[in-house]
Amino acid sequence: MIKKIKLAHKLEGIIKAPGDKSISHRAALLNSIANGVANITNFCEGDDETAMIGCLKQLGADISEIPNNDKNSPAYKIRGNGLNGLSEPKDILYAGNSGTAMRLISGLLAGQDFYSVISGDNSLRSRPMKRITTPLTMMGADIYGRSNASYAPLTFNPKRLNSIEYDMPIASAQLKSCLLIASLYASGETLLNQPEESRDHTEKMLSAMGAPINKKDLAIKIKPGELSSINVKIPSDTSGSAFWIVAACCHPNAQLKITNVGMNPTRIGVIEVLQSMGANLKFENESIQGGEPVADIIASTSQLEGVEISGEIIPRVVDELPILALAACFAKGTTTIKNAEELRVKESDRISTTVDILSKLMANINETPDGMVIKGTGKLIGNEIESHGDHRIAMTGGIAGLLSQGETYISNSDHAEVSYPRFWKTLDTIIS
């Protein structure tokens, strides 16, 4: 599919982004191994929903879709049968394009008393899994995979797990969550030491469900223990909302309201960066839903300034760096992105693909080994660009098209549907 986009004269409207992917994954998985019944509303959309729910159902989880007032937001009832209530799948588990599903479910499979195999699409089978298989093996897991368990498909044989003390080599919510889930099946107390803070949805949810978990600074201790089911209303995805926030801030005549956005401190790095650049943002209807802070965000035309994005904030903005690179094109001065090597092992090499699409739109942007350097010019020129099979690159290209002079054509734009099926329809509604 090729999407044609013209420079918008004005951007205005109210937007509800899809449910947060990170929280959706955890709510489904943890409630499937809890005791009791839970209703999960405003679940994420697209391939991530299909991957996580499909894998859990293959493992025997009792999950049924329930009516929801918002037809665009899936809702599920999950009847949990405890930590040991799952069963051996009859076929290979398929995680699609979802790295989160692959890594979190691997932590679950490592502690089961049955045989299982998990795989994914071409992109996911090329993404690094050694970061999870190494510590899982240290816990006693019996794992096989391509290149010495470096890549999927991954095979898990029944094995009893032991607790470990592990110094995480990178700040990764997926790695941390994988090990926390596996620790529920291990003997004794597991200690994880993080190098930096990353998304803490797993710790929050485990605590709310009664797990014996304790966090002090960057250290997390957890013991095995049964979980109690909890209802979860998923906030709107912070990463998905970032595209509209940047669109409004960079457009010369714009005001967009994005509702019920997740404001977890470990997720709002993109908002912090934009505020440091001078973004015109207002927050309304701030509240707590299911232990997670949420708010409506009103983003308006802004005079942005270039900044350096590096160090401890990188793990909290890694998914939003492509759209932040676009914002930097409209900022005064130079923006430098450093310490972002992790971008190279996402759905695409997001350093190279971000530089590619923005360069074709005449941005002054250069690739570095661990990031990018962008000199703001205040304008882009429409051109033909490619999504590179990456949903975030497709959506970044879409927002860039709204801001570029002339017309922009995005090849394989349908890849946006992986995480945001309504993205292009929503984009069309805010143009006036």
Active-site residues, by number, are 319
C-beta atoms surrounding 430 within 10 Å: 21
Residue 188: count of CB within 10 angstroms of its CB? 12
SS3 265: coil
- What is the distance between the alpha carbons of residues 84 and 69, in angstroms, rounded to a whole number? 34
User: How many CA atoms, within 13 angstroms, populate the side-chain half-sphere of residue 310?
Assistant: 12
- Cα–Cα distance for residue pair 431/410, rounded to 1 Å: 18
- Residue the block writes with tokens 């405890």: 82
Q: What are the residues facing 236 on neighbouring strands?
A: 19, 261
Residue 365: helix, strand or coil by DSSP?
strand
Q: Does residue 107 contact residue 182 with C-beta atoms inside 8 Å?
A: yes
Residue-wise DSSP of 177-207: HHHHHHHTTEES-EEEE-SS----HHHHHHH
For residue 272, what are the CA distances in angstroms to 26, 261, 359, 399, 430?
25, 14, 26, 20, 24
Per DSSP, the three-state class of 162 is strand
Return d(Cα 96, Cα 110) in angstroms, integer.
Answer: 19
Question: Cβ of 406: how many Cβ atoms within 10 Å?
Answer: 12
Written as six digits, the tokens of 115 are 């045989």
19 and 237 Cβ atoms separated by less than 8 Å: yes
* 17 φ, ψ (degrees, to nearest 5): -75, 160
Percent helix, strand, coil in the chain, to 5, is: 35, 30, 35
